[in-house]
Structure 1
Amino acid sequence: MKLSTKGRYAVMAMVDLAHTSRGAPVALAEIAERQDISLSYLEQLFAKLRRHALVRSVRGPGGGYLLAKPAADTWISDIIRAVDEPIRATRCAPGSPQGCTLKGARCMTHDLWQALGEQIGVFLASVSLEDVCQQRIQTHQAPLAAE
C-alpha cells in the first residue's frame, strides 16, 4: 500500500513544525524549503489542518503556524484524515456493498486487505508527532523466508 503525497507531505510538514517551533510561529515558506515541498501545496494542506484544529495561524510580522495542541496529543492518523487521505488498503469504497471486481463482487483477498488497512489505522492512531520527533518509532524487519 502506498500513501499519497498529500498524506505524506502533511505528516512531514507537521513533524517539521513540531520539531522547529519551540513555541514560536513557523512560516510555511521555511517548512517548504526544509522539506522540499511546494509552498502553494503546503498552503492548501495547512488550510485543511487549520480547519481540523491541528494548527493555528499567527498573522503579521513574525507570523506563521503553531501546533494547536501539544505534539504528544497530535496523532498521525488525525493529520492524514484532516487532509482527506483515506487509510485503507482495499480498492472498494468503505462501507459500500459493492466490491472491487468488474461484476461488483468482493475479490477473494478483500478481507485480507481490509484487515491490513485497519491495522495501519490502529498503528497511525498510536503514533504521535512527539513520537516521530523523538525517534521513538520502532521498526521490525521480518526475516526473509528461505527459498
Structure 2
Amino acid sequence: MKISTKGRYGLTIMIELARKFGDGPTSLKSIAKDNDLSEHYLEQLAAPLRNAGLIKSIRGAYGGYILAKEPKNITAGDIIRVLEGPITPVEGIENEEPAKQALWMRIREAVKDVLDTTTLNDLKHYDDAEPQEAYMFYI
C-alpha cells in the first residue's frame, strides 16, 4: 500500500489542527505556508475531511478550520480511509493461493493496527518525543 499526497497532506492538515486545538480556527493558507504546500490542494482535501465529520469550517474574517472531535478521538486510520479508501496492500487476494492470502492479510492487519492505534494526540506531540531509532524493513 502506498499512501499518496492526499493521505500525506491530509495528515499534515489534521496534525496542524490538532496542535492548535482549542485556540480557535486555523486557515488553510497558514497551514500551506508553514508546510510549503499548495493552499488550493489543501482546500480540495478539506472537503472530504469535513464531509466525514473530522473537521468543521468556521466562516468569517477570523475563520478557518477546527477539529470536530478532540485529537485523542481521531486516528490516523480515520484520516487515511477518508482520503485514500480502504487499507489494502494487495488487490484481488481472493485469487491468490492460501499462503499468499495469509501473508497479505497479516500485512493488512499490521498496517491497520498501527493506523488505528495512532491518534492525532500522539502525532501532535511527536516532535516533543525523544528521537526513536530508525528501522528499515524490506519485504
Higher mean displacement: 63-72 or 82-91:
82-91
1:6 aligns with 2:35: no
The SS at the match of 1:88 is coil
- Which letter does structure 1 place at the counterpart of 2:8? R
2:119 to 128, 131, 138: 128
Tell me, which stretches of 5 or more residues in structure 1 are unaligned? Answer: 100-105
Cα shift at 1:141:
5.0
- Per the normalisation by structure 1, the TM-score is 0.79
Are 2:25 and 2:62, in contact at CA under 8 Å, matched by a contact in 1?
yes
Cα shift at 1:120:
0.6
**Are residues 142 and 9 of structure 1, via their aligned partners in 2, closer, same or farther at CA, if it must alter by over 3 Å?**
closer
**Are residues 112 and 57 of structure 1, via their aligned partners in 2, closer, same or farther at CA, if it must alter by over 3 Å?**
same
Structure with a larger share of its residues in helix: 2
Are 1:13 and 1:35, in contact at CA under 8 Å, matched by a contact in 2?
no
- Per the normalisation by structure 2, the TM-score is 0.83
In the comparison of the two structures, how many residue pairs are matched?
A: 134
Percent of aligned positions with the same letter in both sequences? 35
Taking only aligned residues, the RMSD between alpha carbons, in angstroms, comes to 2.5
Structure ranking higher on relative contact order (CA contacts 8 Å, 6+ apart): 2
Q: 2:41: which partner in 1?
A: 41
Are 2:78 and 2:116, in contact at CA under 8 Å, matched by a contact in 1?
yes
Q: 1:71: which partner in 2?
A: 71
Q: 1:23: which partner in 2?
A: 23
